[in-house]
Structure 1
Amino acid sequence: MSRFPSSSTMALYSGLAAVAFALAGQPAQAHGLAYGGIGSGFLHPLAGLDHLLLLIGVGAASAAMSSTLLVWALAGAVAGGVFGAMGGSLPFGELLAALAITAVAGSILWAETKGYGSRLSLWGGLVAAAVAVHAMLHGLEAPSDQTSLSWWLGALAGSVLVSGTTLLVLRRLPRSVTTRLAQVLAIGGGLVAFAPLALLLR
């Protein structure tokens, strides 16, 4: 019997370490007015842990169920981004954005146990709604000057890179890795959602 961990176990440990490092190294929600062009836009979705975890979750859901979920995510991004850029917002938007991570992770776990079958449109709608909430926050922050278009293109490129890479990597690993990652994301979403409350109660 080998004394070395399997590749799937190593991948899981690496993912957990990355999440732990991110939790320790950056704020849970890095939202504020955004400036700059394509480079700033590219980095913006990665600057807040809530956005980063959601992008990973979308990639994981696409790997677990269907790559068409990326199309649903894109639709949600466009709708939410336009809504936010026009000044639209939702009550408790930050909280909803964090809980969206748990919702997407929960859909993966549900599909693993119950199968997704005809529910693909349901999961697609959930992914689109989750991404729309995050894109709304981006829309509220996005620059409204001449750099706006390049900023949005950069944000789209950064988002596609994270979700697409997650999809491709998980497709090459045992399915159990996706399940474990979904468990981590479900907990991580809850922590990000309620961490500010815990800080207020300290």
Structure 2
Amino acid sequence: MIRSLPLVALLGLIATPALAHTGVGPTAGLASGFGHPIGGLDHLLAMVAVGLLAAQGAATSGRRALWAVPAAFVGLMVVGGVLGMSGLPLPMVELGIVGSVLVLGVVIALGRHLPLGAAMALVGALAIFHGHAHGTEMPLAANGLLYGLGFALATSLLHAAGIGLGLAASRLDEKRAPLLIRVGGGAIATAGLALMVL
């Protein structure tokens, strides 16, 4: 038995850990990035609001708004994520995130259709705060590229959910759809105000 100890020790040293668990190895970045936007109510509400704003804007700006508004958000969120991963400071990130929920909710609730360029600029500016928070909260062991892909994918899915809600309202009752979307915006704005107070 004593003669087999060196063999056991050698096998122990060369053994690699089992990577069957989520959050270990390459999947750690993707899973962590995907979970980040979904894990916070402020992020979740803002992402759905961007989708609702895109659906609302499609009535005046055409169907191009359905992809252009979310694409502007995701693109500038990635820029903010790179800034956060790089350690570059951005003032008032948390206020910018919670404020984005309130601002987007109010814009939707007012029902005044923004020109497509203005809607893209608004969501893009707000996206930098969300991206910066994602970037600064990246786990140390995560792969930055996979982490960024994860939060971009989750964000896109949440945008799609908001667009889906807006389009579903139009299919259910075309006349009342604008009002239903505005009520949704009001609910989001109210939640944003509550998050600011808390």
**TM-score after normalising by structure 1:** 0.71
Q: Which runs of 5+ in 1 are unaligned?
A: 1-34, 196-202
Q: Confirm whether residue 149 of structure 1 aligns to residue 145 of structure 2.
A: yes
Equivalent position to 1:133, from 94, 117, 129: 129
Quote the Cα distance in structure 1 between the aligned partners of 2:53 and 2:44: 14
Q: Which runs of 5+ in 2 are unaligned?
A: 1-26, 58-64, 170-176
Quote the Cα distance in structure 2 between the aligned partners of 1:176 and 1:81: 35
Aligned residue in 1 for 2:85: 85
Equivalent position to 2:184, from 177, 181, 193: 181
SS in structure 1 opposite 2:78? helix
- Larger mean Cα displacement after TM superposition, 137-146 or 119-128: 137-146
Contact 1:99 1:189 in 2 (8 A): yes
Provide the identity percentage.
26
Counterparts of residues 19-38 of structure 1 (less than 5 Å): 36-38=28-30
Q: Confirm whether residue 101 of structure 1 aligns to residue 101 of structure 2.
A: yes
Q: CA deviation at 1:78?
A: 1.8
Equivalent position to 1:160, from 156, 160, 166: 156
Equivalent position to 2:31, from 26, 34, 39: 39
1:3-53 Cα distance to aligned partner (Å, 9 max, x none): xxxxxxxxxxxxxxxxxxxxxxxxxxxxxxxx9232222111111111111
Structure with max Cα Rg: 2
Contact 2:38 2:154 in 1 (8 A): yes
Equivalent position to 2:194, from 183, 191, 194: 191
Aligned residue in 2 for 1:74: 74
Quick one: structure 1 residues 73 and 36, their matched pair in 2 at CA, closer, same or farther if it must change by over 3 Å? same
SS in structure 2 opposite 1:192? helix
1:49 maps to amino acid: L
Q: Number of residues paired by the alignment?
A: 157
Quote the Cα distance in structure 1 between the aligned partners of 2:141 and 2:194: 35
Contact 1:107 1:123 in 2 (8 A): no
Aligned residue in 2 for 1:63: 55
Q: CA deviation at 1:145?
A: 4.2
Aligned residue in 2 for 1:50: 42
Q: CA deviation at 1:146?
A: 5.4
Contact 1:80 1:133 in 2 (8 A): yes
